[in-house]
Amino acid sequence: MNYPVNKLFGAFLALAAMGSGCTNSHENEQTLKDYNLEAPEKFFMPESLFEISGITFNKGKSDTAYAIQDEEGRLFRVGWGVKKQLNSKFGKKGDYEDLTIANDRVVILKSNGTMYSFPMSEAVFPEADSVLEWKKILPKGEYESIYANEQTDEIYVLCKNCPEDDSKKSVTGYEFHLGDSSQVHKTFQISVKEIKAFTGKVERGFRPSGLAQNPITKDWYIISAVNKLLVVTDSNWKVQQAVPLNGNTFVQPEGIAFDSSGNLYISNEGDDFAEGNILKFVKLSK
């Protein structure tokens, strides 16, 4: 069959443009330093943790994952790979977003900035005793990220959506001490401009949903379900990487944690087609 020359030339140009586009998109792809985000070990959650939000480990021990979900005031614990959960009730139903453990105490963050704390020794009982409720430490806003440093007992909280912030420019973080939870004694900012330098744009502003510190490098890892993004900063909150997340793997990434060996864990809430899960990314050897 004979084709007119102009049509053949047009088809050639279209194919060339497609090839050029593929090359450019490939060149713009980013990979996360030290971790292969394409090859996780998957741990599917029981039905009670379908809406898993925050995750953490006690002293970096990955045999047991501690988790919350955003409807019930319960601390869940699951053995890695064992689809059976035990839990301890600490509060009423509510929007609980993240948790952390330090100095043998668990601290749980509610979306309005209220925090709940109790000794880890209480986590083995059906209902926790001696639960402390910390109110009005943080400014009014929406919060989903908390992390505690085991060595210093410093607690860090990131704002997700706060009236005092312009999330298209920066996100504010708050620092206080576990032994003096009555007030914030330090604030810091994460620059959205620095994130844009890696991603090109950040739609709707940057809205963090989980925070953890790498025990090996001391870099901060910040997950965002809204932005489908993983941001890495140095210990002083200067952005080092901003990696887009594949929506097929990261359905709704809400929680992030490291074990003592530097392996990375990210939890995803379930949806109509997938169970909630925790993904494990083994630290790559050099």
In this structure, what CATH number is given to the domain that contains residue 258? 2.120.10.30
Give the closest residue to 143 by CA, choosing from 208, 232, 58.
Answer: 208
> Is the Cβ–Cβ distance between 170 and 207 less than 8 Å?
no
Residue with tokens 């994130």: 195
- In a shared domain, residues 75 and 180: yes
Give the closest residue to 246 by CA, choosing from 30, 70, 21.
Answer: 30
Radius of gyration of the chain (CA): 21
Q: Mind listing the pLDDT tens digit for each residue in 190-230?
A: 999 999 999 988 988 999 999 999 999 999 999 999 999 99
In this prediction, residue 185 carries a pLDDT of: 85
Give the closest residue to 136 by CA, choosing from 101, 118, 112.
Answer: 112
Q: Mind listing the pLDDT tens digit for each residue in 38-56?
A: 989 999 999 999 999 999 9
- In a shared domain, residues 103 and 50: yes
- In a shared domain, residues 93 and 186: yes
* For residue 25, pLDDT beyond 70: no
In this prediction, residue 140 carries a pLDDT of: 94
- In a shared domain, residues 19 and 87: no
Q: What is the count of structural domains for the chain?
A: 2
User: Is residue 286, in this structure, part of any structural domain at all?
Assistant: no
- In a shared domain, residues 75 and 208: yes
> Is the Cβ–Cβ distance between 15 and 224 less than 8 Å?
no
Q: Which domain holds residue 68?
A: 38-281
Question: Taking the model in full, what pTM does it have?
Answer: 0.88
- In a shared domain, residues 103 and 140: yes
% the chain with pLDDT above 90: 78
According to DSSP, residue 284 is labeled P
In this prediction, residue 164 carries a pLDDT of: 84
